[in-house]
Structure 1
């Protein structure tokens, strides 16, 4: 199992898949970014180790109508989500071990713990409003 690359042809299919109960791990990158190009294999490796989660690769320029005004400061940026709750949104070092630990830390928490974290800061409350990948796909 590898990550899926979001494109215009599969957007509806991916949106339907993300509507289920599985965790979503999305990497936001750009085709021109050398770091992203080298990180793709690591991201695919994470996807292979986590077949119970949806891994989605999103080129922020090719999919500008989906990512809209998401504040992507640097690459790679990871977005981790369960249902309609964004549990992480931010730049990561391109180290698969860090991403692995981050994913494990998120999935080890209960829905109640995740919900409490989602409300715990202004930044995290903004993630819920602006970074929900399922909502972004519905609007695109």
Structure 2
């Protein structure tokens, strides 16, 4: 299944799928970014290779209410988390192989931090806050 594009019509359904045991992989991009546009098909292929995970395409401008204060300096930026534990937040090379290796290594048992790191964005909490408004 390709990545879901987060928008105001599907926020609640997506938030409901983000359980404590679900890996969520968000790609934060912008519509005006050519690198993001080129990376979208590769990101969809990565999503299809990991059907047990929730993949989200998030436009930082269209979804500013959700993204809020996330510090996105370059594109594409991935946010990978399981429950409220953020395993990765940073810019990657826009390449399916790189994304696949990163996701595979983090989702192996013990491959991610067990404690939420202070200061890292929490997509699940941000979606919940946006829905509460």
TM class by shorter-chain length?
Answer: over 0.9
**Partner Cα distance (1:21, 1:85) in 2:** 10
**Cα displacement string for residues 89-121 of structure 1 (whole angstroms, at most 9, x for unaligned residues):** 00111011111111011011328x6216x5xxx
Give the equivalent residue in structure 2 for 1:83: 83
TM-score with structure 2 setting the length: 0.92
Q: What runs of 5+ residues in structure 2 fail to find an aligned partner?
A: none
Aligned to 1:98: 98
| Unaligned ranges ≥5, structure 1 | 119-123
RMSD: 1.4
Give the distance between the partners of 1:107 and 1:114, measured in 2 at CA: 11
Alignment correspondent of 2:118: 125
Residues 49-102 of structure 1: per-residue CA shift (max 9 Å, x gap):
000000000000000000001000000000000111000000111011111111
Residue 136 (structure 1) aligned with residue 126 (structure 2): yes
The corresponding residue for 1:18 is 18
Map 1:33-48 onto structure 2 (within 5 A).
33-48=33-48
Query: 1:121 maps to what in 2?
Result: none
Q: Give the equivalent residue in structure 2 for 1:9.
A: 9
Aligned residues: 130
* Structure 2 Cα separation of the partners of residues 20 and 42 of structure 1: 27
SS at structure 1 position matched to 2:86: strand
State the distance in 2 between where 1:4 and 1:14 align: 9
Scaled by the length of structure 1, the TM-score of the pair is 0.88
Match of 2:114 in 1: 115
Mapped to 1, the partners of 2:109 and 2:74 lie a distance apart of 27
2:20–2:82: 8 Å Cα contact kept in structure 1? no
